[in-house]
Structures are given as structure tokens and as C-alpha cells.
């Protein structure tokens, strides 16, 4: 067995998993709950709704752009200090939102600051540590459990923020979030125990970052997976940003839209756990293809038929099951093909592709609606590219590189 597969002692492994899950729960839970602050902050600070959504758009863009940059730092310097620095940036960003009081400070805090903090504390870092700390036979399940924490955080943070705003005001709610962000720091420190696991195998100790990127760019399977992840981001963000408007156009109560989004989050927890467990037993390539094709089929059937409250909730449940189930599979395929040495870097590149798709799904969906007055063309495009992505993923080359194949068993 090579050093890259040697797990930590049991107590240290548990500490890493708890730390990674806690860090991901808090960082993603608070990030996904920021939309709740729009009405009171817009009113109190005399901003427009467009101002607030601009800050959140900047956050997504900064997160997508900085993730491939921070990934090499994680691979070079380790998880611990990158995650701790990210937690500190999260704390400072929330403080800027609380006491800033202007559009500029909102963009710097909710947009730039939290975007960078997510690159340091969210999926890439948490799952990198998780993958390092467990044996290959249990990686899928462990990554699935930690991935589920990203959705579980929303179920905790959103009600907490709403209750604080009802009892006090939005500043007190953000102070509550600031306290939660401080808790990221010890969680990040515990997650950093994974740095004790060597990730360089005998065959790649001299491998440079440039050589790793050339190797990845020349692997057709990795390129296919990255393109498919773009389509994943496009479909999912189109749903989260456009479903409430679509339901309103169809005359369905807005409460159904809110219930659907909550249902997506709840079923996402189960889906992340399920596909993480399955990835230890079946082909990750095949499971990814199944997710993309099933999601696209459900997507197409729902939008092709007149929506009802029941069909909308069933649609949300099905989408939730396939929502973040892709994360343990993509993570696992990168480890399987390339090993752990530059895992954060390579995941960061695929995530950047995902965020580009997310941007196009949000912006392009709006453009098509403005052009045609409905979402018919948008959802048809989503179905076509989803089928293409699923088919490409099904045919993906998942063989390890020659370097990885040369490693002793």
C-alpha cells in the first residue's frame, strides 16, 4: 500500500470528518441563507433589490474564479492554514456587512469576501481533507456524508436567521452568523489533521503543478467530466433562480415554490449520502451518467406538462436526490484517475466549469425569458445539453493515468 492510501488513526479520522462536516455545514449554510436578509437590508440601507443580488452574483463569480487559484495552495501548503484563513475572512466579511452600511461594503463583504472564504472552507477543502483521511474503500461514503452537511447547514442556518430577524433585527441575525463563522476556525483546525497524511506516491514525488495540469488536460475522461459539470451547474441554478418565477407565471401559489426549494435541500441530504455509499460499490462514471440522465428526464417531463402543486413537489424531491450526489462521484473520480497529490487543484478547475454553467443558467435563462416571454426555449436547451452531458459521461474514460497505474498496490 502506498502512502497516499494510508488512513489516519481512527480518532484522528473522526476528528477530521467532524471538522470537515462542521466547516462545510456552517460555510454553506450561512451562504445559502443570505437571501433572507435582502428585504430588511434593502429597506434599512436604502438599497435596491438589484444592489443586493449584485453582491450575491459577485460572490458566485469570485468563488468560481478563486477556487482554481486556492486549490494549488491547498495542495502545496495543506488544508489547515488555508481553511483557518478562510474562516477568518468569513468572520471579517460578515462584520463588514453588519457595520458597513453601503453598497460598496455589501459587495466587498457578501460578495468578494465570502466568495474567497468559500474557496477556502467549502467543498474543495473539506472534501480534500476527507478523501485524504480515509481508506479508498470508504472514501465514497465519507465524502457523501460530509457533502450532505452542505445541505444540512441550510436547514439549520435559514430558520436560525429568520428567528433572529423576527425577534430582533437583521443586524442581530448577522451577529448570530458571525458567531457561527467564528466556530469555523476550530473546525478548520481539526480538519487540518488530514495534512499529516502524505499524498505523494513513489511515482509522483517530482511531479510539478504544470505537469499535473498537462496530464489532466490530456486525459479525455477528465475533460468530459469537467464539461458535464458545466451542464450540471447550468441546470441546477436555472431551477433555483427560475422555478419561483415559472410557478408564478403558471398561477401557482408562491408558497409552493418555497416548499419546493426546501424539499430540494432536504432530499439533497439523502442523495449525497446515497451516492457516496454507492460510489464505493459501483462505477462512479456510471453513477454520474445515471444522475445526469435521470435529472434531465425529470427536468424535461416536468416542464413539458402543465405544473401542479403535487407535480412540483415531486419534481423537487427527485431533483434533490440528484442535486449534490455528483460531488462525491466527481471527487472520487479525480482521486481514482490522478491520485491525491493535486486533488484540490483539479477539483478547483472542474468547479470553475460548474460555476460558469451556473452563471449561464441564471443569466441566460433570464435573457431567453426576456426574448421569448416564457421559459420554453430555456428548458428545451437544458434537456438537450443534459442528454448530451449524460451520454458523454456514460462513455467517459475512467482509467487511471499511466503514472497512477504504475503505483504499487
Q: Residue 243 phi/psi, 5° resolution?
A: -60, -45
Angle at which helix 114-121 crosses helix 10-32, to 10 degrees, equals: 160
**Main-chain dihedrals φ then ψ at residue 322, nearest 5 degrees:** -105, 10
Q: Percent helix, strand and coil across the chain, each rounded to 5?
A: 85, 0, 15
Domain boundaries, the chain: 3-194, 209-405
Q: What is the pTM of this model?
A: 0.81
- Supply φ then ψ for residue 263, to 5 degrees: -65, -35
Q: What are phi and psi of 70, to 5 degrees?
A: -80, -25
pLDDT for the residue numbered 5: 46
pLDDT for 4 equals 44
CA nearest to 296, candidates 393, 385, 392: 385
Say what the pLDDT of residue 277 is. 87
Residue 156 is predicted with a pLDDT of 82
Q: What is the pLDDT of residues 7-43, one digit of tens each?
A: 678 888 899 999 999 999 999 889 878 877 888 888 8
CATH architecture under which domain 3-194 falls: Up-down Bundle (1.20)
pLDDT at res. 2: 39
pLDDT at site 289: 94
**What pLDDT does 296 receive?**
93
Q: 209-405 maps to which CATH number?
A: 1.20.1250.20
The pLDDT, as a whole number, for residue 200 is 60
| pLDDT score of 198 | 74
Predicted pLDDT of residue 335? 86
pLDDT value at position 240? 75
What pLDDT sits at residue 199? 66
Distance, in Å, from the CA atom of 17 to the CA atom of 30, rounded to the nearest integer, reads 20
Residues 6+ apart with CB under 8 A from 52: 37, 38, 41, 42, 106
Kindly give the parts of the chain with pLDDT less than 50.
1-6
Check residue 193 and report its DSSP letter: G
CA dist 180 and 93 (Å) reads 13
Residue 219: all three cell numbers together: 486525459
The burial of 124, by beta-carbon neighbours within 10 Å (0-12 exposed, 13-18 middle, 19 or more buried), is given as buried
**Among candidate residues 118, 55, 40, 58, the one with its CA nearest the CA of residue 82:** 118
Amino acid at each position: 500500500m502506498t502512502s497516499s492510501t494510508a488512513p489516519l488513526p481512527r480518532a484522528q479520522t473522526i476528528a477530521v470528518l467532524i471538522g470537515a462536516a462542521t466547516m462545510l455545514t456552517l460555510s454553506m449554510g450561512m451562504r445559502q441563507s443570505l437571501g433572507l436578509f435582502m428585504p430588511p437590508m434593502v429597506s434599512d440601507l436604502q438599497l435596491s433589490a438589484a444592489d443586493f443580488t449584485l453582491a450575491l452574483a459577485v460572490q458566485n463569480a469570485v468563488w468560481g474564479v478563486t477556487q482554481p487559484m486556492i486549490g494549488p495552495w491547498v495542495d502545496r501548503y495543506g488544508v489547515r492554514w488555508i481553511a483557518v484563513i478562510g474562516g477568518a475572512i468569513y468572520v471579517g466579511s460578515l462584520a463588514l456587512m453588519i457595520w458597513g452600511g453601503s453598497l460598496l461594503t455589501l459587495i466587498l463583504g457578501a460578495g468578494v469576501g465570502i466568495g474567497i472564504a468559500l474557496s477556502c472552507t467549502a467543498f474543495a477543502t473539506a472534501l480534500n481533507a476527507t478523501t485524504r483521511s480515509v481508506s479508498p474503500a470508504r472514501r465514497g461514503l465519507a465524502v457523501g456524508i460530509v457533502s450532505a452537511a452542505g445541505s444540512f447547514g441550510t436547514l439549520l442556518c435559514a430558520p436560525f436567521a429568520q428567528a433572529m430577524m423576527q425577534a430582533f433585527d437583521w443586524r442581530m441575525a448577522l451577529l448570530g452568523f458571525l458567531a457561527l463563522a467564528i466556530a469555523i476556525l476550530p473546525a478548520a483546525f481539526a480538519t487540518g489533521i488530514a495534512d499529516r497524511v502524505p499524498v505523494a506516491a513513489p511515482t509522483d514525488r517530482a511531479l510539478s503543478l504544470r505537469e499535473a495540469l498537462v496530464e489532466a488536460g490530456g486525459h479525455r475522461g477528465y475533460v468530459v467530466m469537467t464539461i458535464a459539470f458545466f451542464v450540471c451547474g447550468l441546470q441546477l441554478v436555472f431551477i433555483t433562480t427560475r422555478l419561483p418565477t415559472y410557478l408564478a407565471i403558471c398561477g401557482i401559489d408562491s408558497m409552493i415554490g418555497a416548499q419546493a426549494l426546501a424539499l430540494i435541500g432536504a432530499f439533497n441530504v439523502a442523495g449525497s449520502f446515497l451516492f457516496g455509499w454507492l460510489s464505493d460499490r459501483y462505477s462512479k462514471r456510471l453513477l454520474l451518467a445515471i444522475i445526469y440522465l435521470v435529472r434531465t428526464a425529470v427536468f424535461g417531463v416536468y416542464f413539458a406538462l402543465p405544473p401542479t402543486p403535487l407535480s412540483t413537489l415531486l419534481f423537487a424531491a427527485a431533483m434533490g436526490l440528484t442535486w449534490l450526489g455528483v460531488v462525491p462521484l466527481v471527487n472520487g473520480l479525480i482521486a481514482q484517475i490522478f491520485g491525491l497529490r493535486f486533488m484540490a487543484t483539479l477539483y478547483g478547475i472542474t468547479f470553475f466549469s460548474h460555476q460558469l454553467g451556473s452563471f449561464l443558467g441564471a443569466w441566460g435563462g433570464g435573457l431567453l425569458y426576456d426574448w421569448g416571454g416564457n421559459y420554453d426555449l430555456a428548458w428545451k436547451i437544458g434537456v438537450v445539453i443534459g442528454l448530451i452531458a449524460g451520454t458523454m459521461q456514460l462513455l467517459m474514460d475512467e482509467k487511471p493515468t499511466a503514472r497512477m497505474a504504475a503505483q504499487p498496490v
